[in-house]
Amino acid sequence: MKNREPLSSVDQAWLRMESEDNPMMITALMVLESPLDVRRFQRLLRARLLAFDRFRQRVIRRGDAAWWENDPHFDLNNHVHMIGLPGRAGKRELQQLVGDLASTALDYRHPLWQMHIIDHYQGGSAVISRLHHCIADGIALVQVLLSLADERPDADIRVPRRRTRPHPTLGPAWRLVQGSLYLGRRTLGETLHLARHPGQLRELAGKAFNVTGALAHVGLMPADPPGPLKGNLSGRKRVAWAAPLDLAEVKRVARALNGTVNDVLMACATGALRSYLQDKKQAVDRAVHVAVPFNLRPLDQPVQNLGNRFGFVIARIPIDIPDVRARYEAVREHMLALKRSPQPMIFYGMLNALGWGPDRLERTALNILSDKSTLLMTNVPGPRQPLYVAGSRLLQPMVWAPQSGHIGLGLTIFSYAGTVQFGVVADTNLVRRPAELARHFRASFAELAELADHAGPAAEEVPGGNRKRAPTG
């Protein structure tokens, strides 16, 4: 027992979300320009990935309890596999393989990660990685995977050893209290500040009321009804990705439309869903909701501790609005309101508390929460400069987050080296050909770019940090 470490309550919550229809894995793809030096890559894994203890540890479960334990039979060959593609060994075959792996659960007898190296892919190589969500959240795992890459092809493999620092050992009762206190951590900090600034008491009371209201709002939010994008799941997934967008062009469109890059990309996803459903002769007469992970860890610091540190917001996707400008404005205004919402902290605290409850109670609660959304959408900021993995240039990275409960559709936006990547993962019962949906994303962006061309000069900054819309003529 002295070598065992309990899972944190939030990590345990993600472990329990695993189901036959939705394995709780983050699936990532790295397309490399030249053939991968496998031996050098394995040395890279030993030096950098295995520096985190979690990748040598397996999960042991007994009833409602779970803990980390060193794998007594750890062997890197159990986790790194060479594989070839059939037929033409092109993009379609690679998408098929990624989908098959995203549908297959990891082996709990060993640490919960695997990598498949595809040799001879389009003159180079590809690496498919699967990592269980209980190890860490998507932001942390993407940073861990990108730590395998360097800014130079001849970079030294050796790096200082990093270790996961275990969470303090606290009893279940205190963990439950801790989960509740986390929701108000910022508010409590402001309470101490009141001794010097008593005039802020009214603002603090307003924030506390907003948290309570948001908690009630999430609980009372009606579930998205079944539809063409939400229904019975088969457990078989397919993936696709679109040709990258130019990030500079996305930023130009955002400035012209008085919004942010995220506003533009959310609007692109909204337009893509609408066009896809129209192509399938499906109704688009009501909005749907999307669960959007919200990062709670600093983006400007390297990952020192694994584990899950993020919450969710439930965003409204107005696929029922036919006009491009009106649809964009609806997305922009809604995203602005969500930025001020305590929803991410609320969901994090709920997961923290549920992780210490009985498994059956947690599954019931998580299914209720997942019913409120039709799909999951993630937006992951990646490196701004090109990277190299074991000397081979990384051409295109992509990551797909797992869906939970009854959700069977996920969209991913990933920025890298001046480009924006868009990916889809979908249960085959809902979207049989996700490449069709991916193509609509670029078409939706073209509509927004045309709108931006007629919007006049970009918005100008005004005092107070707000932006003033430029005349549209």
Q: What is the CATH number of the domain that holds 78?
A: 3.30.559.10
Report d(CA 473, CA 459) in Å as an integer.
Answer: 13
Q: What is the pTM of this model?
A: 0.79
167 domain-assigned: no
465 domain-assigned: no
Among candidate residues 42, 55, 301, 305, the one with its CA nearest the CA of residue 157? 42
Rounded mean pLDDT, 249-258: 96
Residue 225 — pLDDT band, cuts 50, 70, 90? confident
Range of the domain at 409: 172-385+398-459
- pLDDT tens for 83-134 read 999 999 999 999 999 999 999 999 999 999 999 999 889 999 999 999 998 8
Q: Pick the residue with more confidence: 300 or 253?
A: 253
- In this prediction, residue 255 carries a pLDDT of 95
160 domain-assigned: no
Q: Are residues 223 and 332 both part of a single domain?
A: yes
Rounded mean pLDDT, 380-391: 91
Report d(CA 214, CA 342) in Å as an integer.
Answer: 7
313 domain-assigned: yes
Q: Are residues 184 and 72 both part of a single domain?
A: no
Residue 251 — pLDDT band, cuts 50, 70, 90? very high
162 domain-assigned: no
Q: Are residues 210 and 296 both part of a single domain?
A: yes
125-129, 135-139, 391-395: which range is least confident on average? 135-139
Q: For the chain, count helices (H), then strands (E).
A: 13, 19
Asked if 287 and 374 count as a contact pair (C-beta separation under 8 A), the reply is no
Q: Are residues 56 and 24 both part of a single domain?
A: yes
337 domain-assigned: yes
How far is the first Cα of the chain from the last one, in angstroms, to the nearest whole number? 72
Q: Are residues 300 and 338 both part of a single domain?
A: yes
Q: What is the mean pLDDT of the chain?
A: 78
Report d(CA 299, CA 379) in Å as an integer.
Answer: 13
8-22, 30-44, 458-472: which range is least confident on average? 458-472
Among 91, 120, 150, the domain boundary falls at: 150
| Number of domains within the chain | 2
How buried is residue 224: exposed, middle or buried, by Cβ count under 10 Å (0-12/13-18/19+)?
A: buried
Asked if 408 and 21 count as a contact pair (C-beta separation under 8 A), the reply is yes
Q: Are residues 141 and 179 both part of a single domain?
A: no
Q: Are residues 144 and 219 both part of a single domain?
A: no
Domain holding 203: CATH number?
3.30.559.30
Task: Indicate whether 175 pLDDT > 50.
Answer: no
Q: Are residues 142 and 196 both part of a single domain?
A: no
Among 150, 183, 213, the domain boundary falls at: 150
In this structure, what DSSP letter does residue 260 have?
A: -
Q: How far is CA 377 from CA 47, 223, 424, 450, 460, in A?
A: 32, 17, 9, 25, 30
Q: C-alpha dihedral over 21, 25, 26, 27, to 10 degrees? A: -70
Task: Indicate whether 342 pLDDT > 50.
Answer: yes
Q: Are residues 146 and 184 both part of a single domain?
A: no
Report d(CA 228, CA 282) in Å as an integer.
Answer: 7
Q: Pick the residue with more confidence: 390 or 363?
A: 390
Among candidate residues 452, 448, 471, the one with its CA nearest the CA of residue 323? 448
The residues near 62 (Cβ < 8 Å, ≥ 6 apart) are none
DSSP assignments along 308-373, one per residue: --EEEEEEEE-TT--SHHHHHHHHHHHHHHHHT-SHHHHHHHHHHHHTTS-HHHHHHHHHHHHTT-
Among 86, 120, 150, the domain boundary falls at: 150
Q: Are residues 233 and 186 both part of a single domain?
A: yes
Q: Are residues 45 and 123 both part of a single domain?
A: yes
Q: What are the phi and psi torsion angles at 466 (to 5°)?
A: -85, 170
Across-strand partners of 393?
Answer: 388
15 domain-assigned: yes
- In this prediction, residue 39 carries a pLDDT of 94
Q: How far is CA 23 from CA 26, 131, 140, in A?
A: 9, 10, 19
**Element (H or E) spanning 460, and its range?**
strand 460-461
361 domain-assigned: yes
Q: Are residues 58 and 185 both part of a single domain?
A: no
